[in-house]
Structure 1
Amino acid sequence: MGTTNRTDETGLQVRRIVISGYYGFRNSGDEAVLKSILFALEEEGVKQGLRIVPVVLSGDPASTTAMYGVEAVHRMKLGEIVRALRASDGLISGGGSLLQDATSAKTIPYYTGVMKLAQLLGKPTFAYAQGIGPVNRRWMDRLIRGVMRRSAYVSVRDAESAHLLGRIGVPRDRIDVVPDPVMGLPLPASAAEVAAAAAGAPTLPVVGVSLRHWRKDGADLARFADALGALARSRAVRLRFLPFHTPSDAEASLWVMERLGDLGASVAEIAEVGDDPQLMLQEVSRCDALLGMRLHALIYAANQSVPMLGLSYDPKIDQFLNRIGLTPIGTTEALDSAAFVAAMGELLDNPAEWHSEHQAAIDQLKQEARKPAKQIISILR
């Protein structure tokens, strides 16, 4: 690799790692992925006697540097990417749903292109808890197959992703199935102080709500508003809307809030958390239950053992819920208000039963979430 003999002032060997993903776009879920990877690399590096110096490819390098205190270069400036890769000891691609063509035909060529560039420069590449698919354009299979076969380590976040890679020709015995990295994200250091300050204050049960735009006609959000309104009229709750991707999720939340109707003794509000994923994780930790459409809202809830109901708009929602023994309460095409009210009521009234059924699976995912970092650090040593 040519750059592996650096040491820091304490004598620890230093490894510079470029990290590629959907970072710098004010999406709490993707920022949480980055922060989780940074935490895991730092922790595992210390354990194995390495200091990791990350260099993040970002849509907003200044924001990324300010938030995480790491080097960042613009993800669309080829010269900056090449210089970062040349000075590095390897490239991490992930996590998140990077290798899919549902949102754009440019996504797979971009991320595989960055991996291919690193490989051409002689740098090892690592796929970190990737979500693979859907891949609807068959010509993209060879792009994915080529870079994955040449990667030093490949991990995906669900069995379906592993199956897809195997189908297109990546040897199955080279693929680790691991949880989303955010399962290992800790609360911010100030969380205990905040919790102590809030203790004793009389509050309604808090139902976290994470929604996003999906159907162009808004029929899905209208159904969700009907169901949430029915819940609010059936019992006194605090509906706390959590925008994971600003400003679009905030707009979707406000649209729904305007259509809730009479709330009775309940209240509805929107959290203003900013872009720090740990602060959003803290928000989720304060919920008594959560209704989540965003994948990372559900992952945050699992991270903090908050009982949850999921709304499916993509197979990744079903796949994650399945890993902890759950199925969606509804989809963007259908949601039965009465069934939702009954299910949410059960979570609020009997959280211990939910924990007894699902906590073991959650604990297993949290334990496994650091495996990619361990493997990557071991290879870099």
Structure 2
Amino acid sequence: MPVITIGLLWHSLSSDNLGVGALTESQIAICESAARTAGVRLKFMVFGTQGGSRYAPEGADITIGSRISIKQMLTGRSPFLRELELCDLVLDIGEGDSFADIYGNKRFLFLIASKIAVILKGKPLILSPQTIGPFKQWWARKLSAAIMQRCARVFARDTLSADYLRALGVTKNIDEVIDVAFRLPFTRPLAQGGDRIRVGLNVSGLLFSGGYSGGNQFGLTLDYPGLMRRLLSAWATRPELEVWLVPHVVPDDFPVDDDRIAIRSLAAEFPNVSVAPSFKSPSEAKSFISGLDFLTGARMHACIAAFSSGVAVVPLAYSRKFEGLFASLEYTWVADGAKLTTDAAFEKIEQGLAQRVALTVAIERGNAIAREKLTRYERFLAEKLRANVESVHSKAGAAYVHSQVKP
């Protein structure tokens, strides 16, 4: 069976942000399914952020690539560049939403430099489903558009990103699908006894801290810590509810982003609530969430875990990635933390909890849309893998013929 090596750029199987890990595990699952259709065997080389966790899908042939260093690339001493030579094609998922300049120029330049490296190596570069932009600086818009026009394909994971691509002038090689984490494998736990409603509150340590820089970095129009406390005050005293605090970003060395620190603080104030484990993998987190009856949270991949496993969910948005993705699924039960007051967000979440049945009906429709979109993405990958094998065979045949020609 032909073997193809796929470079997974800006993926991670050790990130303490389980959302990035969910993208990677899901991407590998989709690629393996496409490979079976194409009749090939895959090897993966993963390039991206390293964290303190360790998880990987069983049975996959995976190598963790070298650190990406702009300095090493400029001086010609980059193991990353040498390892790119081993890849037949590269899938770049940009950690889901990092292909933007809103997180600072340093992060943006890392994303850009790695893409340029792939293109200069002559490897097909596919931008896997992700949020594209925004690019607030004119030079970032021009540079990003120029690079994307040289990609084999650019997949937006929501309608807003697809529209943004067209506004940048990138039109000929784009498609709109959905976040690959809708395909994250999970195991639903056995049904719990009793009649209590299992409610999950995913607390974002980042928003609880006011953002990376503090001082309401994301421009929320509500009091996020106050909203968390108000929800717990309302729920912890209701005997029909079993309330769980659920983390989804668990770094040991980055307290401003650690959901567990905020959760410990809240658990001390509300001792009647339960605290979910510090999950060891994205699939473990999704498996736990799939056993809930309702979830609200500000970590998008915690919300996707709920949605894709059929659990009623009210995402608490802090950026346009929420609006774009869930609007693409025709799902309106989103509380926008950058538009709503604390009172309005509280009421929206309470209404969602009360109308769980209506939410699950809407989620069922949304998951049907997601399945169709990801089937289209998988079909593209299968065709790309098949074309890669045919290209190799064609070149080998041409080389053989050339070698038989007598001078």
Letter in 1 for 2:347: A
Kept in 2, the 8 Å contact 1:222–1:259? The answer is no
Q: How has the CA–CA distance of structure 1 residues 168 and 66 changed in structure 2, closer, same or farther, with 3 Å as cutoff?
A: closer
Q: Indicate whether 1:35 and 2:34 are aligned.
A: no
- Call closer, same or farther: CA 1:289–1:65 in 2, change over 3 Å: closer
CA distance in 2: counterparts of 1:242 and 1:146, whole angstroms: 41
Q: How many residues align?
A: 354
1:33-63 Cα deviation digits (max 9, x unpaired): 0000000001110111111211001333896
Deviation at 1:168, TM superposition (A): 1.7
1:205 corresponds to: 197
- Cα RMSD, aligned residues only: 2.4
Compared CA separation, residues 21 and 292, structure 1 to 2 (3 A)? same
Is 1:255 matched with 2:265?
yes
Please give the per-residue CA displacement for 1:142-171, whole angstroms capped at 9, x wherever unaligned. Answer: 221122111111111011111222222212
Note if 1:122 corresponds to 2:112.
no
Say if 1:122 and 1:200 are closer, same or farther in 2 by CA, change over 3 A.
closer
| Alignment check: 8 A CA contact 1:312 1:328 kept | yes
Give the letter aligned to residue 66 of structure 2: H
How far apart, in 1, do the equivalents of 2:141 and 2:353 lie? Answer: 45
The answer on whether the counterparts of 2:25 and 2:56 sit within 8 Å (CA) in structure 1 is no
1:99-146 deviation digits (Å, cap 9, x = unpaired): 112222222221221111111111110010021122212211122112
CA gap 1:326/1:65 in 2 versus in 1, 3 angstroms? closer
Q: Aligned to 1:75, what secondary structure does the other structure show?
A: coil
Residues 333-374 of structure 1 deviation map (CA, whole Å, 9 limit, x = unaligned): 622276156414413xxx333223341122221332243232
Aligned pairs (5 A) from 1:239-278: 239-247=243-251, 248-260=258-270, 267-278=272-283
Number of the residue aligned with 1:221: 225
Q: Percent identity?
A: 21
Letter in structure 2 aligned against 1:99: F
| Secondary structure at the counterpart of residue 326 of structure 2 | helix
Contact 1:273 1:279 in 2 (8 A): no
TM-superposed CA distance for 1:294, in Å, is 0.9
Alpha-carbon contact 1:126-1:376 (below 8 Å) kept? no
User: 1:48 corresponds to which residue?
Assistant: 38
Taking structure 1 as reference, are residues 338 and 211 closer, same or farther at Cα in structure 2, changes over 3 Å only?
A: closer
Residue type matched to 1:230 in 2? Answer: A
Aligned position for 1:7: none
Tell me the equivalent position of 1:88.
87
Task: Give 1:82 deviation, angstroms.
Answer: 0.8
Aligned 8 A contact 1:21 1:98 in 2: no
- Which stretches in structure 1 are left out of the alignment for 5+ residues? 1-11
Gaps (5+ residues) in structure 2? 73-77, 217-222, 252-257, 387-407
- TM-score norm. by structure 2 comes to 0.80
1:75 aligns with 2:67: yes
Distance 1:303 1:329, change over 3 A: same
| Structure of greater Rg | 2
Residue type of the alignment partner of 1:363? A
Residue 251 of structure 1 aligns to a residue in which SS?
A: helix
Mapped contact 1:37–1:181 kept (Cα < 8 A): yes
More deviation in 134-143 or 324-333?
324-333
Q: Is the 8 A contact 1:224 1:335 kept in 2?
A: no
Q: CA deviation at 1:244?
A: 0.9
Which one of 331, 336, 339 corresponds to residue 337 of structure 2?
331
Distance 1:71 1:166, change over 3 A: same
- Measure, in 1, the Cα distance between the counterparts of 2:259 and 2:43: 33
- Distance in 2 between residues matched to 1:344 and 1:167, nearest whole Å: 35
Partner of residue 137, structure 1: 137
The residue type paired with residue 331 of structure 1 is G
Are 2:301 and 1:291 equivalent residues in the alignment? no
Kindly report which structure 2 residues correspond to 1:166-245, keeping only aligned pairs within 5 A, or say none.
166-171=166-171, 173-187=172-186, 191=187, 194-195=189-190, 199=191, 201-202=193-194, 204-212=196-204, 213-214=206-207, 215=210, 216=214, 219-245=223-249
Deviations 1:302-340 (A, max 9, x none): 110111112121111122232332142351662227615
Task: Report the CA distance shift for 1:288/1:48 in structure 2 as closer, same or farther (over 3 A).
Answer: same
Write the distance in 2 (CA, Å) between the matches of 1:211 and 1:65. Answer: 23
Q: In the alignment, is the contact (CA less than 8 A) between 1:210 and 1:297 conserved in 2?
A: yes
CA gap 1:259/1:137 in 2 versus in 1, 3 angstroms? farther
Per-residue CA shift, 1:7-36, capped at 9, x if unaligned?
xxxxx1111111111523311111000000
Which of 337-346 and 124-133 deviates more? 337-346
Amino acid at match of 2:279: G
Equivalent AA in structure 2 for residue 140 of structure 1: A
Aligned-partner residue type, residue 253 of structure 1: I
Write the letter of the residue equivalent to 1:204.
R
